[in-house]
Amino acid sequence: MYKLTSTTSILRTADNASIPADPANRDYAQYLEWLDKGNTPEAYVEPVVPIEVWRENATVSAFQAQQALDDFGYIEQVEAIMTDASTPAKTKRAWRLAQEFRRMSPTVLDLAGALGLSDVEVDALFQHALTIEA
């Protein structure tokens, strides 16, 4: 009859009503009574995002990207790539000036190729980068 959500609100499954966790709210009071009777709400399940969607939307700050590359031992290789005369000027400029990097951007894809990284390895870098706080 009820389902937990990613917030403090409760979802009433009968009508998909979102009930705020407010003791003064009549619906929330009914939910608390329902719990007192020994009932258990459905657990919240984090939605699974398909990897293609995740890849298309994953974005990290320049700091996060650089720190992740350093944490994984790639920063010196990237810096060498940036000094190589054969590296396109656009890639060098993006490395120097970008405030953020998208997982599927041309710069990231070019760098991944130059480093010989697989999609799984680049995904791991981005997932790690997303955990880094400045």
Tens digit of each residue's pLDDT (9 = 90 or more) over 15-53: 999 999 998 999 999 999 999 999 999 999 988 889 899
Is residue 42 in some structural domain?
A: no
Nearest residue to 102 via CA among 59, 65, 54: 59
- Cβ atoms of 101 and 62 closer than 8 Å: yes
Same domain, 28 and 55: no
| Average confidence (pLDDT) over 112-121 | 94
Mean pLDDT of 102-125: 94
Q: 17: helix, coil or strand?
A: strand
In the DSSP assignment, the letter for residue 44 is P
Q: Tokens 């396109």 — which residue? A: 88
Q: So what's the pLDDT on residue 47? A: 84
121 with 70, same domain? yes
Mean pLDDT over each residue of the chain, to the nearest integer: 94
pTM score > 0.85 for this model?
Answer: no
32 and 78, same domain (yes or no): no
Find how far residue 35's CA is from the centre of its chain: 34
Q: What percent of the chain has pLDDT over 90?
A: 91
Domain that holds residue 111: 51-129
Give me the pLDDT at residue 98, please.
Answer: 95
27 and 58 fall within a common domain: no
Note the pLDDT of residue 18. Answer: 94
Q: For the chain, how many structural domains are there in total?
A: 2
Contact criterion met (CB below 8 Å) for 27 and 1 = no
Q: CA 74, 79, 81 angle in degrees (round to 5)?
A: 95
The predicted pLDDT at position 133 comes to 93
Of the listed ranges 8-17, 46-55, 58-67, the least confidently predicted one is 46-55
